[in-house]
A and B are shown apart, each in its own frame.
Chain A
């Protein structure tokens, strides 16, 4: 007598879906550790950024805080007042011109100087000298820049002396005091002081473009400008977009240069959003209106920051 056993599929003792094996539970200290590392930064950001911002937003919803002992909720009245104030829209217009022109000029000058410093046609020593000269405006603080240009553009200053000596003008030009020229003059100063940021960023980008791309384009018969447009610009585009967005944010907020050169004048031709807001707070003591104005600028900056971050994420 024999018994045979039929081979069949092995049956699990408990039929049903298999459960993944849970990783061993981390000890409490390991789980908390990352939060401890980021805690100082989070604390600083909350204290230095979040709390003041929330307070300013809250203040913008009250009637004149700080100056009144018991301010009452005013809803969006401060925003309505700001947005219907012609001085605010004049400041918006001036800021848009100042920022738009500055960013475009920064890009053009920065690109031109970066290409000059990257060219193989110049020797190392020459490049080093130009690099120092070109970066100088970036090394000065805003106060120095303002004083320097106030002296240069003074009606009795160096620029007018050169123009008159060269026979280019027969009268003293009031660069910063003429309502027809002042906005262009402060924009020029801002362009002068800001282009090195672009120059250095683009120079770093240019030095990172592989040579073989240019060689391939040359083999394909591309001219110098075709190589620039089809190789250089696309390779630099991520840098250009990033620094242009940052520059828009920085320039929109420019305060010290305007305040120290023209104070928003003559009349109101160089009034920017920053000077407009400052005057509301520290000259008119309208802290709630100033808060509302600041929040509007903040929202604008956040929109730009949103696109900047989204662009950065898309790149990654």
Chain B
């Protein structure tokens, strides 16, 4: 019955939201009545930032925009997602919503988030300052505010011990380095890849990253194209690493935090990971010497390298009664000064092309990562896809079968393609 009650809880949540709706986005103020406009801003960012960082920025926004107040609705990522789903269904989404690229397509289908292209046009906003925009049918629905990029982390000591002089720059060098590190023996492995089905983002960050780093794609005209040569080479590369036993054990149920722990404890030579974890790794193992470099591309590739990223995105509710005021808040967070400030406190890269976060000046590792980011382009083809997390999960299941020897790479890609196509 728990499953029923789980579903029932969602229903109740939706019903409650619907019942409590006072029209438009939940609880916005009433400027017409002579009071301030109160914008609700739901996001998961505030708990992940230093205390008062986001509230402080909102106070600055309020000071710069008399008559507009911002009410922060903050919660963990998962709760924010569930509340946004419920709010989208009930038409009570907050005026300004923190978005993950994986949610955008579904919210657009529901008609829950508004077309930002129109708002940008109405307010003569200079789009060229935005590093990226998430578009569906040529209309922008999400703007990445800050980006957390996923470069290659290498354990300097293990590489030196294995006789590898520099971080690998192509797949052959990576394979060679992984073999030499694994040959050191003990618990040491060359690479770590988290493939847990609970949080299948390893497919995006650790598997498909290889494809994007070599300029590859998994889409064709916005539709799945998993059977193309680039994806096949990527999967074959991963399977080759697996079959050669160069991958840390436990990968099939490993989560991202487990991956970071394996690297931090010095059991793994190389991993692809979020820059956001640099501080955590330093705190947990101050003696670990590690470097950051671009994800190796396939041999002979000389084009720009895609670097996977996860975003704190922003959008505006379709039901908001104060879209113009809401866009003022979006513009505020995206201007050079404030975007730099937010990126600095979040240890992320800015969504404004001209913004430069403070940490880049003071820290060699972040500077290296910023150079990689500038030299390549942010790549995440899952952003904007329908049921993106489910696509990762179904790909993950097929990949696990392949790694387990239950099917060939070709069969895997055909099955994954068929599974994905159903959702488009």
Contacts and interface: CB of A to CB of B under 8 A. Distances in A.
Interface of A: 51-53, 55-56, 59, 66-69, 154-156, 172, 174, 176-179, 182, 249, 253, 255, 259-268, 273-274, 277-279, 281-285, 287, 290-291, 293-295, 297-298, 301
Contact of A267 (B267, B389, B400): B400
Given A285-B106, A297-B3, A265 B197 contact: yes
B110 A69 contact: yes
Contacts of B85: 66, 282, 285
B198 A262 contact: yes
B387 interface: yes
A283 B397 contact: no
A52 B8 contact: yes
Nearest to A260: B198
Interface residues of B, number: 47
A69 B8 contact: no
Interface in B251-304: 251-254, 258, 262, 267
Contacts of A52: 5, 8-9, 11-12
B10 interface: yes
A266 B404 CA distance: 10
Given A52-B11, A265-B197, A174 B249 contact: yes
A79 B401 CA distance: 28
A282 B201 CA distance: 15
Report the 7 A-B pairs with minimum CB-CB distance, sorted nearest first. A263-B198, A52-B8, A266-B252, A155-B249, A265-B197, A253-B2, A294-B4
Nearest to B251: A177
A281 B89 CA distance: 13
A283 B197 CA distance: 11
A105 to B, nearest CB: 21
A66 B400 contact: no
Interface-centre pick from B11, B110, B199 (highest chain A CB count, 10 A)? B11
Interface of B: 1-12, 14-15, 82, 85, 89, 106, 109-111, 187, 195-199, 248-254, 258, 262, 267, 387, 389-390, 393, 396-397, 400-401, 404, 406
A176 B252 CA distance: 8
7 contacts: A56-B7, A66-B89, A69-B110, A155-B249, A177-B254, A266-B197, A283-B393
B249 A279 contact: no
Contacts of B397: 265, 267-268
A152 to B, nearest CB: 13
Contacts of A179: 252, 400, 404
Contacts, number: 143
A78 to B, nearest CB: 12
Contacts of B6: 255, 274, 277-278, 281, 294
Given A67-B106, A69-B111, A263-B198, A55 B2 contact: no
Contact of B250 (A174, A259, A301): A174
B304 to A, nearest CB: 33
Nearest to B423: A284
Nearest to B265: A156
Contacts of A273: 3
B253 A56 contact: no
Contact of A285 (B14, B187, B387): B387
A265 to B, nearest CB: 4
Contact of A301 (B1, B82, B89, B248): B1
Given A66-B89, A67-B89, A285-B387, A56 B252 contact: no
Contacts of B15: 55
A59 B12 CA distance: 12
Contacts of B262: 156
A295 B258 CA distance: 36
Contacts of B249: 155-156, 172, 174, 177
A265 B4 contact: no
A142 B123 CA distance: 51
Given A155-B250, A174-B249, A291-B7, A249 B400 contact: no
A55 to B, nearest CB: 5
A283 B387 contact: yes
A277 B3 contact: yes
B11 A55 contact: yes
Nearest to B254: A177
A277 B250 contact: no
B387 A53 contact: no
Contacts of B267: 156
